[in-house]
Amino acid sequence: MALDRAEPVKAPNVYDAEPIPEAARAEIDRLMATGDLFRYTAPADAPVALLERDFAALMGTKYALAVSSCSAAIYLSLRALDLETGTRVLIPAFTFAAVPSAVVHANCQPVLVEVGENYRIDMADFEAKLDDTIGAVIISHMRGHTSDMDAIMALCNARGVPVIEDAAHSLGTLWHGKKIGTIGRIGCFSFQSYKMVNAGEGGILITDDADLVARAVIMSGAYEHNWKKHGTDPELDAAFARWQNELPLYNMRMQNLSAVVIRPQLGDVLTRRINDGLAKHDYVADLLNGSPWLHVPPPLAPETRAPDSIQFNLVGFDSDDEAKAFADAAATRGVKVQVFGLSADNARAFWNWRFIPGERQELPQTRAMLMRACDVRLPPRLTTDELDFIVDALVSAAEDIKGETRAYGT
């Protein structure tokens, strides 16, 4: 797999974003000219309101609420569920620190569930921990990997426990053909720059539940009667009337500039990113799986993925030092690999979530996975040459450490 080219391909910069579609410009100029940045100034059809309408239509849900981040969406979801202080909320032990943080922010207690070598929730541990003390469940589709949503929904529905889907990094993923984020009571998405749609920052929550969305809308900062700009449906109006003046206002609104940057990314642009992301991920996955030292776990059968990064496990790396040496060798070859559990202060390593109150929770299975699981960004815009460069660097780095003998001819 050594590169043999007249003009060597440079290591791609996987952190650069794609340009914002040209179509955003006219609206940005209009906002610049008018200064109309606050979502509730216009009497109707403000860009944020139009984004909510577009996003709900895209996802096939009744309601959407755009906010300042996915973390804000998760926080507001927990508050909308009206959980008592101290409620125990089940979350996967492999997620981003923002998730346990949102739980703590909502005065609830995160309870961590084991995650397997395939980055998906360990269903035996989930079932064991889903006892009468659990008031809500957040399913983080971490890096877009979908856990067994059939089993999760059956167990949670049987107990009447609400499920919030953290689909921050899963826009476009399907489960039995159904859009991820529409399976639980509420779905939350991120528009932070490293996600499928880039507004720098931003988030949105979707639900079919009028009462939940009304509560979330008010708490997001729809003070006085600004909720009237969230559509007119009798069920929603009744819910707003019920909650008027009953809830605190946390001011987690989205501003119009973010919405005009997001809207032109939702149509063909998103479809192209989803399709290319999956094709390019699978191209790289097949090649990495050709190495005896690297393993990309397959998706679950009902899952159609929409990845913009790739995760794989180091196989036969007996020590953490060997795993670190692999990451160093890949870096030398121009590709930055993060071994989740081995980079300092990684926000996805549960032992770094020391802000969680109470006794430290130990998750040996998740810890073992994090010590060998690698993360490489793979934005859908990469060319085949750039993908080949990444594959070559990773496969060669593994051979640097583990020797070439088994890499060929097996």
Ligand X SMILES: *Cc1c(COP(=O)(O)O)cnc(C)c1O
Contacts with ligand X by CB under 6 A lie at 69-71, 95-96, 98-99, 140, 142, 166, 168-169, 190, 192, 203
DSSP 286: H
* Residue count (the chain): 410
Q: Is 226 helix (H, G, I), strand (E, B) or coil?
A: helix
Minimum distance of ligand X from residue 300's CB (angstroms): 17
Nearest to 340, CA basis, from 350, 325, 354, 328: 350
Q: Which is nearer to ligand X, 164 or 397 (CB)?
A: 164
Which residue type sits at 239?
A: A
Q: Which is nearer to ligand X, 91 or 398 (CB)?
A: 91
Minimum distance of ligand X from residue 359's CB (angstroms): 24
Minimum distance of ligand X from residue 68's CB (angstroms): 8
Q: Which is nearer to ligand X, 304 or 309 (CB)?
A: 309
Q: Which is nearer to ligand X, 195 or 295 (CB)?
A: 195
Question: Rounded to whole angstroms, how far apart are CA atoms 409 and 295?
Answer: 17
Q: Which residues pair with 115 in a beta bridge?
A: 121
> Is-contact 351 363, C-beta < 8 A?
no
Which residue type sits at 247?
A: L
Radius of gyration in angstroms for the set of CA atoms belonging to the chain, rounded to a whole number = 22
Question: Rounded to whole angstroms, how far apart are CA atoms 38 and 347?
Answer: 32
Q: Which is nearer to ligand X, 59 or 398 (CB)?
A: 59
DSSP 352: G
Minimum distance of ligand X from residue 308's CB (angstroms): 10
Question: Rounded to whole angstroms, how far apart are CA atoms 48 and 101?
Answer: 26
Burial 341-355 (b: 16+ CB within 10 A, else e): bbeeebebbbeebee
Minimum distance of ligand X from residue 399's CB (angstroms): 31
Minimum distance of ligand X from residue 77's CB (angstroms): 12
Minimum distance of ligand X from residue 124's CB (angstroms): 23
Minimum distance of ligand X from residue 264's CB (angstroms): 19
CA dihedral 173, 177, 180, 181 (to 10 degrees): 150
Half-sphere exposure of residue 7: CA atoms within 13 angstroms, side-chain side: 2
Minimum distance of ligand X from residue 72's CB (angstroms): 7
Q: Where do the DSSP E strands lie in 79-193? A: 88-92, 109-113, 134-140, 163-166, 174-175, 178-179, 186-190
Give, for 102, the enclosing helix (H) or strand (E): helix 98-105
- Token digits for 331? 């870096």
Q: Which is nearer to ligand X, 167 or 391 (CB)?
A: 167
Q: Which is nearer to ligand X, 197 or 323 (CB)?
A: 197
Q: Which is nearer to ligand X, 168 or 257 (CB)?
A: 168
Q: Is 110 helix (H, G, I), strand (E, B) or coil?
A: strand
Minimum distance of ligand X from residue 257's CB (angstroms): 16
- Token digits for 12? 């791609």
Q: Which is nearer to ligand X, 69 or 313 (CB)?
A: 69
Q: Which is nearer to ligand X, 53 or 105 (CB)?
A: 105
Nearest to 207, CA basis, from 73, 303, 72: 73
